[in-house]
Chains A and B, each alone.
Chain A
Amino acid sequence: DAMVIQNPRYQVTQFGKPVTLSCSQTLNHNVMYWYQQKSSQAPKLLFHYYDKDFNNEADTPDNFQSRRPNTSFCFLDIRSPGLGDAAMYLCATSRDLGMYQPQHFGDGTRLSIL
């Protein structure tokens, strides 16, 4: 089945220690998104890639970066995680950027900061 896969499902890191979360997709979609979702809150868009074009949301902290080495993979790098960065991180894809495009989500990575 075509899908969006996130690894790992659970990640624990230490305060200030860089961490990378990964996302892969077999849907061959052009767009990949990263969302942050804190407990009982809405998913919040951090950034997205359209093909190789990176687009940052205005309020995304500089601490968060992303890489997309090819169509299938996208990474979220948190350079110096703080306690406030503990959250579920969701990767999603869509075929294109139109407002009629549904998004397909992975199961998420739950990040804990010690």
Chain B
Amino acid sequence: QQPVQSPQAVILREGEDAVINCSSSKALYSVHWYRQKHGEAPVFLMILLKGGEQKGHDKISASFNEKKQQSSLYLTASQLSYSGTYFCGTPQGETSGSRLTFGEGTQLTVNP
């Protein structure tokens, strides 16, 4: 079951904030976040595990709500370099390990 991401696309001005959501109809055991720029490889951002933890990476942070089966990625004070497509990836099941199913992606555009 593919996770569902929202919104599909968002356009920001430099310095604005954004939230990208990733939700699943099945139990979530971990959530991976990647960013992919056009024509380039996806780049790992962070992984969240069960326990509702929140992680941060520069001005990008994420939370994981196990009960709601949802993760959110927070981008604060966005920079031009944040532009790209953001994918969340989730294991198919508890024994799926690192085999991920990715959401359809959220295209983020940051304009000057």
Measured CB to CB, the residues of A under 8 A from B are: 4, 31, 40-45, 48, 55, 57, 90, 94, 96-108
Contacts and interface: CB of A to CB of B under 8 A. Distances in A.
Task: Summarize B's interface: helix, strand, loop or mixed.
Answer: strand
Task: Summarize A's interface: helix, strand, loop or mixed.
Answer: loop
Interface residues of B, number: 24
Q: Which 5 A-B pairs have the closest CB atoms?
A: A42-B102, A105-B41, A97-B97, A102-B44, A99-B30
A57 B102 CA distance: 14
Contacts, number: 61
Given A99-B49, A99-B91, A48 B42 contact: no
A99 B51 CA distance: 14
A104 B44 CA distance: 7
A102 B41 contact: no
B24 to A, nearest CB: 14
Nearest to A101: B98
